[in-house]
Amino acid sequence: MNATEIAEAIEILAEQPFDAAEFPYAFLEAFGRKPTEIKRLRSGNTNKSDLGGVLQRNHIHIAVTAPGEVTHTLTALRDSPATAKAKAKFILATDGDMLEAQDLASGDILSCPYPEFAEKFGFFLPLAGITTIPQLRESSFDIRATRLFNKLYLELLQDNPDWDTAARRADMNHFMARLIFCFYAEDTSIFHPSYPFTGTVEKMSERDSSNTHEVIAELFRAMNTRKENHEAQGIKSWARPFPYVNGGLFGGSLDVPRFNKSARNYLIHIGGLNWTKINPDIFGSMIQAVADDEERGALGMHYTSVPNILKVLNPLFLDDLRAKLEEAGDNKVKLLNLRKRMAKIRVFDPACGSGNFLVIAYKEMRKIEAEINQRRDETDRASDIPLTNFRGIELRDFPAEIARLALIIAEFQSDVLYRGQKLALAEFLPLDAQNWIVQGNALRLDWLTVCEPTGKGGGKIFADDLYGAPLDQAKIDFENEGGETYICGNPPYIGATTKAPKGASKETKARLKREAEMRKADLEAVFRGRIDAWKSLDYVCGWLMKAADYGKVENSAAAFVSTNSICQGEQVFRFWPSIIKDQLRINFAVTSFSWKNLAAKNAGVTVCIVGISRQSGMAKLYSGKDDTVRDVPNINAYLVPYHDVYVENKSKPIQGLQAVVNGSKPADGGGLIFDADIAHQLRSEAGEEFQVIRPFFGAHDATHGEGRYCIWASKAQYEALKDLPGFQKRFDIVAEMRNESDKELTKAGADSPYAFQQVRQRGNETVFQIPRHSSEEREFFPVATLPKGAIVGDGGFAFFDPPLWNIAVLVSKVALSWIATVCGKIKTDYRFSNTLGWNTLPVPPLTEKNKADLSYCAEKILLAREAYFPATIAELYDAEKMDEQFPELRDAHAANDEVLERIYIGRRFKNDTERLEKLFELYTKMTGKKAA
DNA sequence: AATCCGACATCTA
DNA sequence: TAGATGTCGGATT
């Protein structure tokens, strides 16, 4: 369930008469607990309450009490041993009159009259697994408003099918934005309190809703007509008290869709909410989903939390402004200069969505300005920061509309906060008529026409020249001589390839493919002629490239939240050399952290933040893991504090190591791989004559020592076995999957369903398996030995008959830190690659003695593992167990690292930073490249 | 023919 | 329900 669904369920519950016996179950149901869970609780099987209430393990302890006993009961719940034992997150007591609850993790207490708890449902959201964004818990208003808007929107579209066309969606979106403005305006005295918007609509429209659209249209007409013209234009007398708003908001078509009865009810209900509680940033990200069929289910998926936004904005420019404020102290001239500077700062988000970044940037700058004005005793002074300096580009119409509205609301809120309601109101209307949020495709638009160059120079000519063809021109032209421009945002994260979900329909697949093609064309428009392999770049690279281009003309700096893969593996050397040049460099970065949004299920994505500018001096490197900062001389494209080095993939090891090969890829839909039972059956079916079943190891199989089996047959063997029922079943699975595939190679393989798509196995050698993916929690790469004749699947790499000293290198800390840095990753876990990591690993020249010493170390490691038989690789290399349970193995690895690192620098490395510095240094020497 | 990557996909402890 | 590992198509070399 998502937050709006919960809001709805809770509202329904609160409206019903209180039923003491049913309440706990109804409550749990409203938060999305499954009917089977609730059934088991009812039967008492899983109910652990020791107070006659309902206690669900890991969730909540609820007790319904006698009248007046609520507070007392809450204390009893808190002290109950059962509460602690079941690890309840919440306790809740109610008598149907009052309701009290506590979040045991934070200690926060909720206490309110029973009927009001529906408004406070945000408090309990962690129960539904929505725990990650604290702001959401305080945003009950935004969720409820969004839910009702959702209903209204769908109701209107259903009743006005002509508005549900591509051509009119923009009108519809514009209409919704006007409504939001009116609701906000009537609750904040922007409209005169005696003439409320909702009240007027309710009063003037028929109860059967028939003329609702006419009433609203008349009100909109009033807001689009200057006061002095109201009479001449024949505005109805009841609409005349409404002010002239315009600002583009009420320009254009003033058509209003028809309202049926329930639409009218929703409208009145929404108007009844308290709109002063709106959070422009959160509300925007939620409401934008309303107009998007795809996103409606995944509410808030585009929300970037305020702390995450500040991770971009603070290092980009806000920290500097604050430092300058600090520096200025009470010096009025310095303060004035800072204010003048701020008035010319433009913040530009070329992927602005509903304007989160712009709103937060605006609010933070107003905060600084307010401090300046206070120190200069000018607290009444109107803000010098023009709202129009907060520019954006957004592809979708509705969010673009909302972004402008969110900024308008943020401006009003800031005025109220720093200058008082009276001054805020006096200067608020009419709105500025200019539209400074551009609806368009950011990768196609010429950014210089959205943010005109501040000095002299032919921006447009430059841009045409650069991209080979004229770009779309937005033509926003404001004076801003001598200003600074800060580009920021959270562009869409789309990798070079995306996987369609397994069960996706043909239509879904086709749509995804179409979208992918459009994005490719966008990237081509940016990169054609500059980077050959543009098709393998993430979509965000387009934004970074355009920001870099913009920076060549304009005094600007840019920072984006980005998929972390642009700073890993193959994208690094493909992409970054085009960015880091001409004095442009990474002047700050936040390393990988996992993304959070408002959706109940967070997108499983790991991101980083990269800031680029021409600023020299020290760079700031923030850790995404622990929020620490380091001042470093340079940050390279791997987000490592070292010179700019690019490690390119190599097809063979460049340092005399033996080649590691990929495991064999089945591409079989699971047909060729099976467990021991099936293997047994197939063996007896085939008989002694046919030895076609072999042990098969993926990474999991090898690290957990379990192993599956696979069919490993020749064509002749296949012909002989294919009609046996057991075998036929396996081959059918393979043929079917391959026939359905879009990939030519796979399709072709449907004719030979006995064979793996890619075969790397050779004979019956000793084989070590290196997992393709391994958890970053491990201190050593869990390389495993496999039984003879085993097949290495494509979950890993195979090392056939390796010299033991190669194994010593492979399992060393040196190799691991190199792999961790220059290979790709999955989330933040290691992803081994032979071409990127192994073949490029810098190793100093080794004497025979060195090799013998290393071989001895490898042997000791293998012996130590055997000594702990039957512990699996997974257990042996569990960082938490190693010290206590497997000390010999730990010692053997320590000895191995000691010997190897002495070869590198004559002693152990102090830490990974030192390891990497040495490795990059050697790599630079080895490849004859100069460190920049 | 080999290899990398996934606003990933899917298991399992 | 999060941590660990799986899997295949599209693209590049």
Helix A280-287 vs helix A397-419: crossing angle, to nearest 10 = 160
Poorest-pLDDT segment among A118-132, A235-249, A430-444:
A118-132
Does residue A234 sit in helix, strand or coil? coil
pLDDT tens profile A69-109: 999 999 999 999 999 888 888 999 999 999 999 988 778 88
What letter represents residue A680's amino acid?
H
Alpha-carbon separation of residue A237 from A70, A241, A347, A645 (angstroms): 53, 8, 43, 72
Q: Is the CB of A777 under 7 A from strand C?
A: yes
pLDDT tens profile A830-861: 999 999 999 999 999 999 999 999 999 999 99
Hey, what are A504's tokens?
A: 């996706």
Contact (CB, 8 A) for A574 and A546? no
**Strand pairing of A60-64 and A693-697?**
unpaired
Host H or E run for residue A515: helix A506-527
Radius of gyration of chain A (CA): 32
- Report CA(A772)–C1'(C6) in Å, whole number: 10
- Report CA(A753)–C1'(B4) in Å, whole number: 25
Q: Mean pLDDT, to the nearest integer, of A359-383?
A: 97
Would you kindly state where each structural domain of chain A is located, as residue ranges?
A: 3-130, 142-278, 304-486, 490-645, 647-664+760-932, 672-694+711-756
pLDDT band at A476 (very low <50, low <70, confident <90, very high): low
Cβ within 7 Å of strand C: which of A 438-477?
none
Q: Is the CB of A831 under 7 A from strand B?
A: yes
Residue A757's nearest nucleotide, by CA–C1', is C8
Contact (CB, 8 A) for A846 and A903? yes
**Is the pLDDT confidence value at A340 over 80?**
yes
- Report CA(A128)–C1'(C1) in Å, whole number: 12
The set of strand B positions with any atom below 7 Å of a protein CB reads: 2-10
Minimum-distance residue to C5 (CA–C1'):
A700
Minimum-distance residue to C7 (CA–C1'):
A667
Alpha-carbon separation of residue A213 from A181, A217, A231, A310 (angstroms): 17, 6, 21, 42
Minimum-distance residue to C6 (CA–C1'):
A795
Q: Is the CB of A793 under 7 A from strand C?
A: yes
Q: Residue A751: CB partners within 8 Å, gap ≥ 6? A: none
Distance CA A266, CA A278 (A): 18
pLDDT band at A722 (very low <50, low <70, confident <90, very high): very high
pLDDT band at A461 (very low <50, low <70, confident <90, very high): very low
Contact (CB, 8 A) for A457 and A428? no
**Strand pairing of A484-489 and A345-349?**
parallel
Hey, what are A268's tokens?
A: 């009145």
Alpha-carbon separation of residue A841 from A603, A810, A844 (angstroms): 34, 10, 10
In terms of phi and psi (left: phi > 0; alpha: psi -120 to 50; beta: otherwise), the region of A107 is left
Host H or E run for residue A630: strand A629-632
Minimum-distance residue to C3 (CA–C1'):
A775
Residue A661's nearest nucleotide, by CA–C1', is B2
pLDDT band at A12 (very low <50, low <70, confident <90, very high): confident
- Report CA(A525)–C1'(B11) in Å, whole number: 40
- Report CA(A536)–C1'(C11) in Å, whole number: 6
- Report CA(A497)–C1'(B4) in Å, whole number: 10
Residue with tokens 């495991």: A663
Distance CA A306, CA A490 (A): 12
Residue A882 vs residue A128, higher pLDDT: A882
Residue A353's nearest nucleotide, by CA–C1', is B7
Minimum-distance residue to B12 (CA–C1'):
A700
Residue A764 is predicted with a pLDDT of: 67
Does residue A559 sit in helix, strand or coil? strand
- Report CA(A730)–C1'(B5) in Å, whole number: 29
- Report CA(A515)–C1'(C11) in Å, whole number: 17
Q: Is the CB of A302 under 7 A from strand B?
A: yes
Host H or E run for residue A696: strand A693-697
Contact (CB, 8 A) for A539 and A531? no
Q: Is the CB of A438 under 7 A from strand B?
A: no
Q: Is the CB of A874 under 7 A from strand B?
A: no
Contact (CB, 8 A) for A631 and A618? yes
Q: Is the CB of A515 under 7 A from strand C?
A: no
Q: Is the CB of A824 under 7 A from strand B?
A: yes
The set of strand C positions with any atom below 7 Å of a protein CB reads: 1-13
Cβ within 7 Å of strand C: which of A 644-703?
665-670, 673, 698-701, 703
- Report CA(A787)–C1'(C1) in Å, whole number: 35
pLDDT band at A462 (very low <50, low <70, confident <90, very high): very low
- Report CA(A500)–C1'(B9) in Å, whole number: 10
Does residue A843 sit in helix, strand or coil? coil
Hey, what are A474's tokens?
A: 């937005």
Residue A601's nearest nucleotide, by CA–C1', is C1
Residue A463 is predicted with a pLDDT of: 43
* Distance, C-alpha A781 to centroid of its chain: 28
- Report CA(A447)–C1'(B3) in Å, whole number: 36
Residue A498's nearest nucleotide, by CA–C1', is B6
Residue A556 vs residue A460, higher pLDDT: A556
Residue A654 is predicted with a pLDDT of: 87
**Is the pLDDT confidence value at A596 over 80?**
no
- Report CA(A820)–C1'(C4) in Å, whole number: 17
- Report CA(A175)–C1'(B7) in Å, whole number: 30
Distance CA A420, CA A397 (A): 33
Distance CA A841, CA A653 (A): 8
Q: Is the CB of A570 under 7 A from strand C?
A: no
Contact (CB, 8 A) for A709 and A695? yes
Distance CA A121, CA A142 (A): 12
Cβ within 7 Å of strand B: which of A 468-497?
490-497
Poorest-pLDDT segment among A337-341, A453-457, A518-522:
A453-457
pTM of the model: 0.87
Distance CA A104, CA A376 (A): 46
**Is the pLDDT confidence value at A460 over 70?**
no
Residue A132 is predicted with a pLDDT of: 45
Residue with tokens 């009743």: A159
Minimum-distance residue to C10 (CA–C1'):
A497
H helix runs in A110-257, sequence order: 134-137, 140-159, 166-187, 197-204, 212-223
Q: Is the CB of A520 under 7 A from strand C?
A: yes
Cβ within 7 Å of strand C: which of A 868-927?
874
Distance CA A218, CA A226 (A): 14
